[in-house]
Amino acid sequence: MNNSPLFCKNLCGNRIYLTAPLLPVLTANGWDLLFGKSVYQRYADFFSLFPAIRAGREAVNKEEPQLWFVERLPRESWPRQTLVIPVGVPTPQPSSRENLARAISRDIPDAEDVLDRLHRITAAGSPLHGKKVLITAGPTVEDIDPVRFFSNRSTGKMGLALARAAFRLGASVTLVLGPTSLSAPAYAEVINVRSAADMFRQVKQHFEACDYFVAAAAVADFTPVTRYSHKIKKKPGNMLLELQRTEDILKHVARHKKKSQKVIGFSVETEKLLENSRKKLLEKNIDMIVANNPREQGAGFATDTNKVTLIYDGGSVDLGLHSKLETAQRIFQKVRQL
């Protein structure tokens, strides 16, 4: 939760009504929204719907966090503590600019994107400021023929939460993302992949430039030896499908990492969670393993929560049950201590 005052400016006319879905999200997340007295009085009926919003003084300097609501995308740069929110823009588009929020339609700002950017621009001494974080997320898909494939239950939720947390903490984020129905954040450099081999190639290409590598993807351990160019016809009897091991991404990066780099892996185990995960930590020679059991309540692939244990050289810590975003933030807090 954030109790910092947030000065809202340039919000009037139709713009004020278009922001109705966004304002309660901000107040529910602890932001203290302040509007100028003249605006507050002019739209008293509107503000009566939001008791957490109040009239207040104007921001007195550029270092105070501000929201500017605009109808046209600005070309000029804005102070770091100012977040520009497009409302009713003619041509909405994703934004890679740090203090320009993403519009998800002609009229509506993306509340999740606004929250992430607010945390980033107002965080004092961001622990990952200026760092490059490379994250893998989602499942991989191994094709058998043009019709059939095998995959796993990963949705990419945990990996996307890690991308959000890293951005909030000041990092630039590269996300190598397997097939998922979820939308990636506009501020991340997203590289879409399909198979384990695709993901391995992209990690090799981008690993050298990163400060932190987080392997949150559920990568297939096996892939078909033969990938058929035509649909396999159904025949009487059983069918044998020969599989071969895929490249171990974590082992590869551990062999090539510099002293300044940190490598974090994930371990999904349904039995002997701590024992098997610590074994992986030692075998792969990485800095930390995030271990979880998907059979535990609230820790499944498609859930919004997770229950993980962080295992590292010399110890472990059980984080308990939290939202995946909160879990991601706690993971990075621990990583900074390694």
Q: Active site includes 152? A: yes
43 & 68 share domain: yes
The answer as to whether 127 is a domain residue is: no
Candidate list 2, 14, 152, 293, residue with the active-site label: 152
The answer as to whether 115 is a domain residue is: yes
Q: What is the model's pLDDT at position 75?
A: 62
The answer as to whether 184 is a domain residue is: yes
96 & 11 share domain: yes
Q: Read out DSSP for 197-257?
A: HHHHHHHHHHHTT-SEEEE-SB--SEEES---SSPPPP-SS-----EEEPP-HHHHHHHH-
For residue 102, give both structure tokens.
Answer: 């993403």
292 & 199 share domain: yes
254 & 319 share domain: yes
What backbone torsions phi and psi does residue 205 show, to the nearest 5 degrees? -70, -35
136 & 280 share domain: yes
90 & 220 share domain: no
Q: What is the model's pLDDT at position 95?
A: 53
Q: What is the model's pLDDT at position 293?
A: 93
168 & 66 share domain: no
Task: Assess whether pLDDT exceeds 80 at residue 332.
Answer: yes
For residue 172, give both structure tokens.
Answer: 């630039």
Cα–Cα dist 320/306, whole Å: 8
Predicted confidence (pLDDT) per residue in 62-93, tens digit: 778 888 888 776 666 677 788 888 887 665 55
242 & 94 share domain: no
What backbone torsions phi and psi does residue 31 show, to the nearest 5 degrees? -80, 135
Predicted confidence (pLDDT) per residue in 166-224, tens digit: 999 999 999 999 999 999 998 999 999 999 999 999 999 999 999 999 999 999 999 99
266 & 323 share domain: yes
Confidence class of residue 281 from pLDDT cuts 50, 70 and 90?
Answer: very high
For residue 299, give the CATH number of its domain.
3.40.50.10300
- Other beta carbons within 10 Å of 138: 30
Q: What is the model's pLDDT at position 59?
A: 65
Domain ranges, residue 313? 132-335
197 & 267 share domain: yes
Predicted confidence (pLDDT) per residue in 12-30, tens digit: 888 888 888 899 999 999 8
